Amino acid sequence: MPNTNTNRRYSVGAMIFHWTIAIAVIVNWRIAEAAHHAQGADRGAIFANHKALGILILALTLGRLAWRWTHPVPPLPSDLARWEQVLARVVHVIFYVLLIALPLGAWIANSLTGREIDMFGLFTIPPLPIGKNDALGSALFSAHGTGGSIFIYLIGLHILGALKHTFFDRNGGIFRMLPFGKV
């Protein structure tokens, strides 16, 4: 179905979801890095925050997807080369896959190792009823770490693309996702 949206900027709701999730992902990456360098009880406490923020990112992502399905996105700038259009679409699809798969995979891994998820001391999310399997849980945690690393590299690519379109192509790329600036 062709995009019939003639607005060149994303909706305010999409902007709020985008920047909230973006900040949460970067903060969660830094929390995970801090946890890897911590020892003992400190490590567990830091990872507890990483897990809780991951579940919050999952909820925000589901909200963003619902928003996206009910609010048309602006078309890509007409001056993009075909390969840039394809790359932009592929990276966005991978973002959504990772934003859902990483928290779900971690929840499954926690469940397989018999752990609940403490949501910042407000409530806990119990393990899924899938039985205990420490080896599989460990493998999923490892895959989660690899997926997180891939995600960070893709975020870097996304940022570089936005900067390229804004400052070299001068098509206002980054301002499509900001409420100010010239698109």
Q: Where are the domains of the chain?
A: 12-177
Regions of the chain short of the pLDDT cut 70: 1-6
Condensed to tens digits (0 to 9), the pLDDT of residues 134-183 reads 999 999 999 999 999 999 999 999 999 999 988 888 887 788 898 887 77
Q: SS3 of 120, please?
A: coil
Q: Specify burial of residue 13 (Cβ count, 10 A radius: 0-12, 13-18, 19+).
A: middle
The Cβ of residue 163 has, within 10 Å, a number of other Cβ atoms equal to 12
Q: Against a cut of 0.85, is the pTM above it?
A: yes
